[in-house]
């Protein structure tokens, strides 16, 4: 299990292999009334690398049926920590793609940076943003819940319901298409072992797509603030 924090009471946490196994796992669990009001906003990103005419899923999900699909954990070449930030390296044929996750101190913001470390040609990276809006102790069954998802500069905004705090998934260098599709019945294996409710639904709110050449990187941000990604801010973030 890995964990990074915002120093506000919010955090990001998950498993090294990728599947969500507890209700407390997610890319952005924000402290909306710091240090309290911990709310799951962005459970995860599901990524696919297209390389040399083949798709290589990086994500891993376990479903109510017990099926594990996709099986991105099979492509993990290395996992390490840079300071407190988790870093994965995935092998897709002869290409290597790294992923690093960290939070901005003093801000309800999680960054994920992907970098094409090695390849004989460019790759296309597709990133599905899965979102939610719930107290971090609870679980979501979607029913007919419909969120408001709007294109904004550099990404999408999500308003879960009237009176909810809007939040954003952004990227300074990826194209995005909005979506509104519930992925139902994620199975949280660790909650099963604890005798707790263990099935949850998450909403696919948008897909970000970018082409990467060897050495290129793409940054994703999940936040309750709409970042400008000006030259100064971009330079400060990407050097992490």
Quickly list DSSP for 185-224.
Answer: EEE-HHHHHTTS--EEEEEEEEEEEEEE-TT-EEEEEEES
Tokens representing 200 are: 């949850």
Cα separation, 24 vs 14, in Å, equals 8
Question: Which pLDDT value is given to residue 195?
Answer: 85
SS3 17: coil
Is residue 199 helix, strand or coil?
strand
Q: Is the pLDDT of residue 232 over 90?
A: no
Q: Looking at residue 231, what is its pLDDT?
A: 46
Tell me which residue has tokens 């599901």: 46
pLDDT above 60: residue 54: yes
Average pLDDT on 8-16 reads 96
Place of tokens 């094409």: 116
The average pLDDT across 15-26 equals: 97
What is the pTM for the complete model shown?
Answer: 0.92
Q: Are strands 123-131 and 44-51 parallel, antiparallel or unpaired?
A: antiparallel
For residues 144-150, give the mean pLDDT.
97
φ, ψ for residue 84 (rounded to 5)? Answer: -105, 0
Share of residues in the chain with pLDDT > 70 (%): 94
> Across all residues in the chain, what is the average pLDDT?
94
């Amino acid at each position: 299990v890995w964990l990074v924090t915002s120093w506000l009471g919010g955090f990001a946490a998950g498993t090294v292999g990728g599947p969500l196994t507890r209700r407390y796992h997610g890319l952005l669990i924000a402290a909306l009334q710091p240090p309290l009001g911990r709310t799951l906003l962005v459970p995860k990103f599901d990524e696919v690398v297209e390389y040399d005419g083949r798709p290589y899923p990086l994500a891993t999900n376990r479903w109510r049926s017990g099926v594990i699909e996709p099986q991105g954990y099979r492509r993990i070449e290395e996992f390490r920590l840079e300071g407190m930030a988790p870093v994965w390296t995935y092998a897709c044929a002869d290409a290597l793609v790294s992923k690093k996750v960290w939070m901005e101190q003093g801000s309800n913001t999680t960054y994920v940076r992907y970098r094409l470390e090695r390849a004989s040609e460019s790759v296309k990276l597709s990133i599905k943003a899965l979102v939610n809006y719930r107290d971090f102790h609870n679980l979501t069954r979607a029913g007919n819940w419909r969120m408001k998802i709007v294109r904004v500069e550099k990404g999408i905004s999500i308003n879960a319901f009237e009176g909810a705090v809007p939040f954003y998934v952004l990227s300074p260098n990826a194209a995005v298409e909005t979506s509104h599709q519930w992925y139902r019945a994620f199975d949280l294996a660790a909650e099963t072992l604890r005798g707790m409710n263990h099935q949850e639904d998450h909403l696919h709110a948008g897909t970000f797509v970018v082409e990467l050449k060897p050495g290129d990187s793409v940054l994703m941000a999940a936040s309750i603030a709409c970042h400008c990604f000006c030259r100064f801010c971009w330079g400060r973030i990407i050097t992490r």
